[in-house]
Amino acid sequence: MVYDQKVGCTRRSHNDSSKTTEATYCPVGQAHVICMVSDFFYPNMGGVESHIYQLSQCLIGRGHKVIIVTHAYEDRKGIRYLTNGLKVYYLPLTVMYNQSTATTLLHSLPLLRNIFVRERVNIVHSHSSFSAMAHDALFHAKTMGLHTVFTDHSLFGFADVSSVLTNKLLTVSLCDTNHIICVSYTSKENTVLRAALNPEIVSVIPNAVDPTDFTPDPQKIRTNKITVVVVSRLVYRKGIDLLGGIIPEMCHRYPDLHFLVGGEGPKRIILEEVRERYQLHDRVRLLGALEHRQVRNVLVEGDIFLNTSLTEAFCMAIVEAASCGLQVVSTRVGGIPEVLPEDFIILCEPSVKSLCDGLEKAIDQLKSGNLPSPEAIHNTVQSFYTWKNVAERTEKVYDRVSNETVLPMNERLERLISHCGVVTGSIFALFVVATFLFLMFLRWNTPDSLIDIAVDATGPKGAWSHKYSCKKSRKTMANAKSGSSLK
């Protein structure tokens, strides 16, 4: 069935029947058709994945149409529908490294063009600078004259050869992107430097956590036993080597101290060795990979949350832990100092000594008993970051972007050459021309008018959607995350 739909004028109406406050709150503005693109989406697990999902749900709740495009995960291919008619395209593209697809800047054009046309997309929102597909989509969207937004979720250094190369590619990818979103101010500074951007087209919109998922355990009775919880992937960047030094040091100082480590990764061997070497089998528990819904239950078993990351743009884990009412001890790296106020977090230098001192301080506070109750902490923290707020702020970016003009071909070429250096610029300008010719060919081969327009999962004019809203969708989120785990 072909359903012709006018984009950008009347789409807000279908939520009027909804009784939730979010839907009636909708400020005046246009409804957008947004295509989220990233290599990272469920069933893969991580911060980017949940960010895309939650943001999309809230945007749908606010009357926009959102689709997600990612690559196929094993047998998960084709089109899937998630809660609230969130449509996900799992495209058959080859995965090259670390769940990121290979890119030639050309081969994905036919597929993406088809999706953009049939879904009547007007804003392409790419996520994560590690995702080749996200950059491809930006590139094609610009060729097709669509508005583009990019969210950067990670930090990157400037020191080695690999970062010099990736930063150059980022410069190319972002030099004509309409707007960029970063998750913290540190991340903004980093991205602005890496891609040589005008800081005014970079917005800071933090991540959020679902406070209903992370609540303290009211049944918990405080005993003498103190448990330190660590929930993270066990990799170098998360500072697991430091943890391997902290565990024996702290266990030596406090005989009633226990460690609970959730997560899996190549550095697990270090923790196992430490446990073996110091005979701490009864005091250090390694839980292995955790599913997302188990995280809360692990967190509430502890009193102190320890984060030893060496680099972090935002760090959801510490917000989740604070939301569960835990004392947080963390390294002072990247955007972490921006995330929680000083009463909730003890910041340390990334060294065993400093982190041990921090833990000691936390234990002293805990023993003295003059800490606010976990419920009090939860109530304060839950007001900090909400997806509703994130969606509103992202919407403003969309509103701004849709009023901007997309650079026409000639200006785009000029910008590439003037902005990215003559050599790199010229090479990519060549790619731009090639993609443009390819697009011309595709348009000649299958004109836009012959491509069927997709029916929304919400039905014509949103007739099938009724009382769903941002809030309700969370209950069913577990379905979307099936097979997810902290690896």
Partner 1 sequence: MSPVLQSSNPGAYTDVTWGQDTTSSPDPVENHTPWKKVLYERQPFPDNYVDKSFLEELRKNIYVRRYSYWAVVFESAVVIHQLCSVCSFSVIWWYMDQDLLSPQKLCGFGLAFTLLGYLIFDAVDKGAGRKESGRTRWRDLKSSLVFVAFTYGFSPVLKTLTESISTDTIYAMSVLMLIGHLVFFDYGANAAVVSNTLSINMAIFASVCLASRLPRSLHAFTMVTFAIQIFALWPSLQRKLRAYTPRTYTCVTFIFAVFSVSGLLSISSVGALLFFLLLISVTFLCPYFLIRLQLFKDNIHGPWDEAEIKEDLSRFLD
φ, ψ of residue 72 in degrees (nearest 5): -70, 140
Site for partner 1 in 411-440 (CB under 8 A): 415, 418-419
Q: Smallest distance from the beta carbon of 390 to partner 1, in angstroms?
A: 10
Q: Does 398 bind partner 1 (CB under 8 A)?
A: no
Asked if residue 474 lies in contact with residue 83, where contact means CB atoms within 8 angstroms, the answer is no
Stretch near partner 1 under the rule CB under 8 A, chosen from 66-74, 95-103, 196-204, 360-368: 196-204
Q: Does 268 bind partner 1 (CB under 8 A)?
A: no
Site for partner 1 in 333-362 (CB under 8 A): 333-335, 337-341, 350-353
State the number of binding residues for partner 1 (CB under 8 A). Answer: 69
**Nearest to partner 1 of 353, 466 (CB atom):** 353
Q: Which stretch binds partner 1 (CB under 8 A): 89-97, 271-279, 291-299, 475-483?
A: 271-279
What sign has the CA pseudo-torsion 427, 432, 433, 437?
Answer: positive
Helix axes 240-253, 268-277, angle to 10 degrees: 20
Q: How far is CA 161 from the centre of its chain?
A: 26
User: Residues 226-265: x/- map of binding to partner 1 (CB under 8 A)?
Assistant: -----------x-x-xx-xx--xx----------------
Surface-to-core class of residue 450, CB atoms within 10 Å of its CB (0-12 exposed, 13-18 middle, 19+ buried): exposed
Residue 149 binding partner 1, by CB under 8 A? no
- φ and ψ at residue 123, rounded to 5 degrees: -130, 130
* The one segment of 73-81, 98-106, 399-407, 436-444 that binds partner 1 by CB under 8 A: 399-407
Q: Which of 30, 84, 184, 330 binds partner 1 (CB under 8 A)?
A: 184
State the nearest-atom distance from the C-beta of 445 to partner 1, in Å.
33
- Tokens at residue 62, please? 């606010």
* 145 is a site residue for partner 1 (CB under 8 A): no
- Cβ closest to partner 1, residue 33 vs residue 336: 336
Smallest separation (angstroms) from partner 1 to the CB of 458? 26
Residue from 80, 393, 461, 474 touching partner 1 (CB under 8 A): that is 393
Q: How far is the CB of 403 from partner 1 (least distance, A)?
A: 8
SS3 120: coil
- Beta-sheet pairing, 95-97 with 100-101: antiparallel
Q: What is the DSSP string of 272-306?
A: HHHHHHTT-TTTEEEEES--HHHHHHHHTT-SEEE
Tokens representing residue 130 in the block: 């590690």
d(CA 334, CA 353): 20
Contact indicator for 121, 115 with CB cutoff of 8 Å: yes
Q: Which of 385, 428, 438, 468 forms a contact with partner 1 (CB under 8 A)?
A: 385
273: exposed, middle or buried (Cβ count in 10 Å: 0-12, 13-18, 19+): exposed
Judged by CB under 8 A, the residue of 90, 130, 150, 384 near partner 1 is 384
Closer to partner 1 by Cβ: residue 64 or 275: 275
Q: Is residue 281 within the footprint of partner 1 (CB under 8 A)?
A: no
81 near partner 1 (CB under 8 A):
no
- Which stretches of 278-382 are DSSP H helices? 292-299, 316-323, 336-339, 352-368, 374-381
Which of 145, 199, 266, 483: binder of partner 1 (CB under 8 A)? 199
Identified binder of partner 1 from the candidate list 15, 84, 143, 190, rule CB under 8 A? 190
User: H or E segment at 371?
Assistant: none
Where are the strands (E) in 23-98, listed by range? 33-37, 65-71, 78-82, 86-91, 95-97
Query: Does residue number 327 form part of the binding site for partner 1 (CB under 8 A)?
Result: no
Pick 140 or 188: Cβ nearer partner 1: 188
What's the min distance (Å) between Cβ of 77 and partner 1? 35
Q: Which of 98, 198, 370, 410 binds partner 1 (CB under 8 A)?
A: 198
Q: In terms of CB distance, is 300 or 336 closer to partner 1? A: 336
Question: Of 473, 412, 10, nearest to 210 (Cα)?
Answer: 473
Rg value, the chain, Cα = 24
* From candidates 106, 407, 434, 442, binder to partner 1 by CB under 8 A: 407
CB of 141 vs partner 1, minimal distance in Å:
16
- Taking CB under 8 A as the binding criterion, the range among 64-72, 97-105, 203-211, 363-371 that sits at the site for partner 1 is 203-211
Whether 193 and 180 have beta carbons less than 8 Å apart is answered as no
The nearest distance, CB 194 to partner 1, in angstroms, is 9
Q: How many CB atoms lie within 10 A of CB 355?
A: 26
Q: Which residues are 188's β-sheet partners?
A: none
Nearest to partner 1 of 334, 462 (CB atom): 334
Buried-exposed string 278-304: b where 16+ CB fall within 10 A, e elsewhere: eebeebbbbbebbebeebbebbbbbbb
Residues that bind partner 1 (CB under 8 A): 155-159, 176, 178, 184-187, 189-190, 192-193, 196-206, 237, 239, 241-242, 244-245, 248-249, 270, 273-274, 277, 310-311, 313-314, 331, 333-335, 337-341, 350-353, 384-385, 389, 392-393, 396-397, 400, 403-404, 407, 415, 418-419
